[in-house]
Amino acid sequence: MLTEKKREFIQFMLGAGVLRFGNFVTKSGRSTQYFVNTGNYKTGAQLSRLGSYYADLVAQCTGGDFDAMFGPAYKGIPLAACCATALWQEHRMDKPYLFNRKEAKDHGEGGSIIGYSPKDGDRVIVIEDVITAGTAVRETVPILKACADVSIPHMFISVDRCEVGQTPGMTAIMEVEKEFGIKVHPIVTVVDIHEYLKETGTDPSLLSAMEGYMEQYCVLP
């Protein structure tokens, strides 16, 4: 259901140039009519507002029952940082965050993890942008498990594309939940974006193309 909060978030992504329409190719190699690039957030005001959206969802879904949040390099780093800030400012949840380097540092403090050092038994949530094929998740889990014996109960993302993964009838997110036991929470889904486009009277050809894409590649609720 397209709520007012979801509608605001879609408008926010459009205004920041993060959600765009045209002809794109996803990480999974599929041609798509829309693309989400959180790397286009580039101002303090945008990051502050983005952090609020993530923090609201984190607070709602976890009630603060976690020990730290992880932002995978590179796009997840500012997402985790702005979420941590908003959690404190708006929900009075003071939670540490950590992120990884793409390449381990062999001088100074060394290592590949920056920020909080996870301990055995910690519940670490992941703050990401979009899951398309689940590749990034499969890279993230070993990184966190190499730090300590942690559990990863939740992942928070901007958009659920609802695209089929490697298993017929299952989205990449369904596969992640089944394979790793991670519950994935999106701020909005492709269904919400489609409903928004219908509401705003977008170009019928774009709407038709997007519907064709969804019919071919998506597993819808």
Pick the catalytic residue: 5, 105, 119, 178? 105
- The set of residues, in sequence order, having a beta carbon less than 8 Å from that of 122 and lying 6+ positions away, is 67, 68, 148, 150, 151
Active site residue 107: yes
Annotated active-site residue 105? The verdict is yes
Distance between CA atoms of 173 and 93, rounded to whole angstroms? Answer: 27
Burial state string for 170-203 with b = 16 or more CB within 10 A and e = fewer than 16: ebbbbbbeeebebbbbbbbbbbbbbbbbeeeeee
Neighbours of 35 (CB within 10 A): 15
- Plot region of 162 (φ>0 → left; ψ -120 to 50 → alpha; else → beta): left
Q: How many helices (H) and strands (E) does the chain have?
A: 7, 9
Q: Which residues are catalytic?
A: 105, 107
